[in-house]
Structure 1
Amino acid sequence: MTITPGFTGSPLDRIETARHDEEELTALIDDPRALRLILTDYVPTATDGVLGWAPLGDIARNELLLLGLIDGIPRFVHLDPKAAAARRTPELFALLGELPYSEAATYAAARSLLDWHSRHRFCANCGTMTNVFRAGWARLCPNCKTEHFPRTDPVVIMLAEHGEGADKKVLIGRQPGFPQGRFSALAGFVELGESFAEAVARELHEEAGVVATDVRYIASQPWPFPSQLMIACVAKVADDALTIDTAELEEAKWVTRADVAAAMAGDPSAPFLPPPHYAIAHTLFKAWLAENEDPPGTGRIYITPRRPVRSHSRRGARSSLR
């Protein structure tokens, strides 16, 4: 079974070569078909599920960040040098609920890139104001020549699983800021010197007191708030006794396959409200149901890129539920 996570499947061809070739970049900017993503305070416009684009106009060239090509047309986003860091708003999340994942994925790349620039104007090495570099995919310090690249923070998000066969159940939790009734998978940032499987085991033990004995990878998803890579897993645990870290979780509980199926179907009698469809936790619940519905070995999710990935960017390599 194939299930596509939210914020994936963008049609962008990232044309990484243009980030290193000023002539190619200039030709893309001068292309009369070139478009910029319409954003107001980081919120896009959309009509019938399609993102809004506009001509480049008279925007300064050093304020145009190259996203790539869509349908052969150069696509950019405008960097306001004075813009504050991005915020989450109810308006934005309402819009994301209506966007196809492919459109949301394009927006996610633009949002995270803009937000990174707004938060990283100064060189971490010497403190000097840096300049936009490599078509917007880096910043260069004019003083010490250090190159800075957008970062992605890895976050594991997981369902602890206990029991066998029809008795299987998974652990869900909620934080105080969640809408009433909403529960999700547990999650946390991967720490330095740690594999994602080790992070899964550590987070489950820290937050819920359970001991993971086996971890299996399910899927991944960019999460542009501001720039995480969500790594979804299921972890078998030794027993179902819980010791909840109340600094992290307001509540945690075990739910059965029937409970999860009811929640995902929108049954008003379900014991919890699931995460929104574009969140990786929603994908994780769907995957877990699929693994338990299909014959052994056939329920695993497989995710394939929409197009070959040609870009190679260097990156600088507290917890919340998603």
Structure 2
Amino acid sequence: MPFEDSITFGSSGLERAAHLRMDPEAMARLVADPAARAIAFWRAKPAVSPEGLVKLPLDHPVLEAATEAPIFLGLDKAGPRFAYDLSGWQPVEEVGELDSFLDRSEQQHPDLPEGHLFKELRGVMTLLTRREAELAAAARQLLEWHRTHGFCSMCGVKSDQADAGWQRLCPSCGRRHFPRTDPVVIMLITRGNKVLVGRSPGWPERMYSLLAGFVEPGETLEGAVRREVYEEAGVRVGPVRYIASQPWPYPASLMMGCAGEAVSDAITVDPVEIEDARWMGREEMIDVFAGTHPEMREPRKGAIAHSLLSAWLRDEAR
């Protein structure tokens, strides 16, 4: 199958129907459609069940806790899809535990059936269908943008949600604000039969991944790859090519997977950027994916780093 089809949060072919967002009459018809369904979020965590993403009819009582109008996500074959933010609801108690890397707590809303829980998206992303993952990623990113961009950056007045949730409009100066996406390069850097991996401070024990970093203003993807690898690991990179991308809604990144050929071996770690970096041979990486390597565990499934490394092991990272 095409490489991009293996990417979590990749396009599932959802009809986003952007032409309907500015049409109030069309939106009213979609909201009234008996086939319309909502996905509910609580503080950036979607409601999920053992069957996948929970999809609620728009008249479900749990949605009464929403403080903002729903966001129109698009047209699924089964009907319109919307996202609701229920962050104003206060759970009686939390189940699970919190840590610095992943929120493992789960919340049970009294109006939802047993087992329908709000869970951290990173913990369930590989359990979702491609369509569910695309819906969840778009909803999470948009809801976080609304949460953090509620005031006009031109005049400071509180702005209003507009165009079915895809814009904010300032009632004072009329400025329109649009959701942002931050470009990030993630690099499969190889030299001969080895690949460069690194880890950030605070990551779980034995967790390594490919190096990554934000693209700076006025910079090409190729330039960002070479700069980030040199800044973090002191390794010079020659030819660079693009492979595939992944929306990464934590909170608003677009991970652009690139492959690069290193022209130097020596590693000089910048401790401000990363904690460690090392070259891993193909045989070592096979052990990593088999779960038998003593110093590195398999990269997190669902992340593009896992897909890139897996493709490299199969000699398909082209």
TM-score by length of 2: 0.84
Alpha-carbon separation, structure 2, partners of 1:279 and 1:181: 16
Opposite residue 33 of structure 2, the aligned amino acid is D
Number of aligned positions between the proteins? 287
Greater mean deviation of Cα atoms: 151-160 or 37-46 = 37-46
1:77 aligns with 2:92: no
**How many Å separate the matches in 1 of 2:184 and 2:290?**
27
1:40-51 to structure 2, matched below 5 A, reads 40-51=42-53
Unmatched segments (≥5 aa) in structure 1? 292-298, 302-322
Kindly provide the amino acid, as one letter, of the partner of residue 25 in structure 2.
E
Q: Which residue of 1 aligns with 2:135?
A: 106
Q: CA deviation at 1:112?
A: 0.5
Specify whether residues 136 and 272 from structure 1 end up closer, same or farther in structure 2 by C-alpha distance, changes over 3 A only. same
Q: 1:210 aligns with which of 235, 240, 244?
A: 235
Shift of the alpha carbon at 1:109? Answer: 0.7
**1:318 aligned residue:** none
Distance change >3 Å, CA 217–CA 153, structure 1 → 2: same
Structure 2 counterpart of 1:179: 204
- Bigger relative contact order (CA 8 A; separation at least 6): 1
Q: 1:88–1:225: 8 Å Cα contact kept in structure 2? A: no
Question: Which residue does 2:314 correspond to in 1?
Answer: 290
| C-alpha distance 224-262 of structure 1, shift in aligned 2 (>3 A) | same
- Structure 2 Cα separation of the partners of residues 78 and 179 of structure 1: 32
Taking the aligned partners of 1:88 and 1:128, their CA distance within structure 2 comes to 34
- Partners of 1:61 and 1:25 lie apart in 2 by 18
Root-mean-square deviation (CA), in Å? 2.3
What TM-score results when the alignment is normalised by the length of structure 1? 0.83
Q: Is residue 265 of structure 2 the alignment partner of residue 240 of structure 1?
A: yes
- Whole-Å separation in 1 of the counterparts to 2:312 and 2:287: 13
Matched residue, 1:25: 27
| Contact persistence 1:11–1:70 (CA under 8 A) | no
Q: What one-letter code is carried by the residue in structure 1 that aligns with 2:254?
A: L
Q: Which residue number corresponds to residue 104 of structure 2?
A: 90
Q: Answer yes or no: is 1:276 the counterpart of 2:277.
A: no
Query: Shift in Å at residue 102 of structure 1?
Result: 3.6
1:11-44 per-residue CA deviation (whole Å, 9 max, x = no partner) reads 5321111112111111111112221103333322
> Residues of 1 paired with 2:180 and 2:86: CA distance?
20
- Of the three residues 67, 71, 96, the one matched with 1:65 is 71
Match of 2:96 in 1: none
- C-alpha change, 1:49 and 1:157, in structure 2 (3 Å) is farther
Q: Which runs of 5+ in 2 are unaligned?
A: 90-100, 106-119
Looking at structure 2, the residues matched to 115 and 27 of structure 1 have their Cα atoms a distance apart, in angstroms, of 26
Q: Hey, what does 1:158 align to over in structure 2?
A: 187
Query: Does the 8 A contact of 1:131 with 1:142 survive in 2?
Result: yes
* Moved segments of 4+, more than 4 Å: 58-62, 80-83
Deviations 1:56-91 (A, max 9, x none): 1275896111011112411111145869xxx95125
- Shift in CA distance, 188/219, structure 1 to aligned 2, threshold 3 Å: same
The 1:88/1:150 distance shift into structure 2, 3 A limit, reads farther
SS of equivalent residue, structure 1 residue 36: strand
Q: Quick check: 1:217–1:232 contact (8 Å CA) kept in 2? A: yes
* Percentage identity across paired residues of the two chains: 42
Residue 7 (1) aligns with residue 9 (2): yes
**What is the SS of the residue equivalent to 2:29?**
helix
Q: Per-residue CA shift, 1:135-179, capped at 9, x if unaligned?
A: 10000111111110001000001122112xxxx211100112211
- The verdict on how the C-alpha distance between 1:154 and 1:218 changes in structure 2, with shifts beyond 3 A counting, is same
Q: Is the 8 A contact 2:42 2:87 kept in 1?
A: no
* AA aligned opposite 2:12: S
Distance 2:295 2:67 in 1: 53
Q: CA, structure 1 residues 235+49, in 2 after alignment: closer, same or farther (shift >3 Å)? A: farther
Question: Shift of residue 275 of structure 1?
Answer: 1.8
- Displacement, 1:103? 2.0
CA distance in structure 2 between the aligned counterparts of 1:279 and 1:117, rounded to whole angstroms: 25
- Indicate the residue corresponding to 1:16 in structure 2: 18
Partners of 1:263 and 1:273 within 8 A in 2? yes
In the aligned structure 1, how far is the partner of 2:310 from the partner of 2:138? 25
Mapped to 2, the partners of 1:179 and 1:133 lie a distance apart of 40
Given that residues 37 and 76 in structure 1 are in contact (C-alpha distance below 8 angstroms), is that contact kept between their aligned partners in structure 2?
yes
